[in-house]
Amino acid sequence: MWHFNYQNPRKSKGINKQELEYIESGGGMVDGDAFIEKKEKVQFTKSDWKLIFHRKLIGVYLGQFAITSMLWFFLTWFPNYLTQEKGIAALTAGFMTTVPFLAAFFGVLLSGQLADKLTRNGKSLGFARKTPIICGLLLSSCIMGANYTNDPIWIMVLMALAFFGNGFASITWSLVSSLAPVRLIGLTGGVFNFVGGLGGITVPLIVGYLAQNYGFAPSLVYISSVAVLGALSYILLVGEVKRIEDR
């Protein structure tokens, strides 16, 4: 369906001049992949890889690593944490497992709404998109608070807040297309997904090792620390949201 129906905006038969101007004025790249139509093969150079690992993009990659790390904690170890570490009955744990996912669902929706609202109110693109990401990652670090309580209600609240924050920070993809050189958006997106995937690979292993040898408490400290690292990467590395110059 995609292959037969997708067209560049400027080549689409179902678009008029006003729509095209509206997309372009909002930052959309109406001719962004025109270079794909060239017949000759394009070789990536060392200079291209330097652009891919520009400081700003490294910050985005680290943020995605943090977001994916927490996601995979909830996908893999969360039920075991409730039953083995906190001694919660399996039936109760099953119910408690659903609450953080519902919270993350609403976090995802609210982050997009907030980013759009900030943009409409005249805030810069960087402020509008970085604010939910930074706030969400910092909020998700509260997962470590579960180490200090055995009350199932408080555990559920803290986990729900942490996963809500994770969902709230999930608009990181929007910055890939805003920061990467147009010619290298595909490769940048691949590296972005690769680094995020490392979070999905490492968390089950690290949490499993820590839980087996030291209990789950250090695991939550690890997840929380990674979340803070992700927030700091957006504050210290990404900086101003401005497309990286393609030299």
Q: For residues 37 and 58, give the distance between their C-alpha atoms in angstroms, rounded to a whole number.
A: 29
* CATH number of the domain within which 206 lies: 1.20.1250.20
The confidence score (pLDDT) of residue 76 equals 92
Q: Classify residue 222: in a domain, yes or no.
A: yes
Of 3-7, 152-156, 226-230, the one with minimum mean pLDDT is 3-7
Q: Classify residue 39: in a domain, yes or no.
A: no
Query: How many separate domains does the chain show?
Result: 1
Q: Classify residue 100: in a domain, yes or no.
A: yes
Beta carbons within 8 Å of 122's beta carbon, 6+ residues apart:
none
User: What are the tens digits of pLDDT across the range 94-142?
Assistant: 888 899 999 999 999 999 999 999 988 988 888 999 999 999 999 999 9
Query: Hey, what are 31's tokens?
Result: 């001719």
Q: Distance of CA 228 to CAs 54, 147, 235, Å?
A: 21, 17, 11
Q: Classify residue 19: in a domain, yes or no.
A: no
Domain that holds residue 197: 59-238
Q: Classify residue 7: in a domain, yes or no.
A: no
The answer to whether the beta carbons of residues 226 and 64 sit under 8 Å apart is no
Q: Classify residue 38: in a domain, yes or no.
A: no
Q: Classify residue 46: in a domain, yes or no.
A: no
Q: For residues 42 and 73, give the distance between their C-alpha atoms in angstroms, rounded to a whole number.
A: 40
